[in-house]
Chain A
Amino acid sequence: QSVLTQPPSVSGAPGQRVTISCSGSNSNIGAGFDVHWYQQLPGTAPKLLIYGNDNRPSGVPDRFSGSKSGTSASLAMTGLQAEDEGDYYCQSFDSSLTAHVFGSGTKVNVL
């Protein structure tokens, strides 16, 4: 069972906006540790999408944005495209486990 909880799936039509939540606790997100987001397209390695809660690496479209509040974080995707179909994971650090932890993962379906 993952320390960070994400919805199993979210769906949206092309062009729509979807959000993915990442719920943690006071030993990880709530303790002030940064949240990062990864995109994993089918058959590929994860790719860093958002780092430090709300920063985009060079080359990541501004359709992707991240936010953090309290013990939770969110990834928003606007202007959904077919190429966005894949799995998305949040990641942070947990002080109780002294370990980097990943969310359970969310599958994005483009209808």
Chain B
Amino acid sequence: QVQLVQSGAEVKKPGASVKLSCKASGYTFSNYYIHWVRQAPGQGLEWMGVIDPSGGDTTYAQVFQGTVSMTRETSTTTVYMELSSLRSDDTALYFCARVSAGFDAFDIWGQGTMVIVSS
């Protein structure tokens, strides 16, 4: 079935970087954009950016410019999101999500990856 499976939880120190993965299966990888959305504990959803798995083009939310990088590996149908210069307020659950065909709605979500930033 169509699914996105994300990598496991991470614990990092302030100032470090973290690279999360999101493996797609059950559909044609290159046909659907993948977005990243995060959710701090007890808070709402925050859009981080998007990658086109076909050509690798990316667009990032302004607040993440300079600290986030999204890449993809077509051979393994995997998308990666790297966040650098981590701070304690980057502690959150990070989701990858696929955009549906024809609409800008996120129709398939990964299970989420918890990132804890603590000294």
Contact = CB atoms under 8 A, between A and B. Distances in A.
A48 B47 contact: no
B62 A97 contact: yes
Interface stretch (A15-23, A71-79, A102-110): A102-110
Contact of A100 (B47, B95, B112): B47
B61 A51 contact: no
Contacts of B110: 45
B35 interface: yes
A45 B44 contact: no
B2 interface: no
Q: Summarize A's interface: helix, strand, loop or mixed.
A: strand
Q: Summarize B's interface: helix, strand, loop or mixed.
A: strand
Contacts of B44: 2, 89, 102-105
Contacts, number: 62
B98 to A, nearest CB: 10
Interface string A70-105: 000000000000000000010101000111111111
B106 A102 contact: no
A36 to B, nearest CB: 4
Contacts of B112: 45
Nearest to B46: A102
Contacts of A48: 100, 105-107
Contacts of B95: 45-46
B109 interface: yes
Contacts of B109: 45-47
Interface of B: 35, 37, 44-47, 50, 59, 61-62, 95, 97, 100, 103-107, 109-112
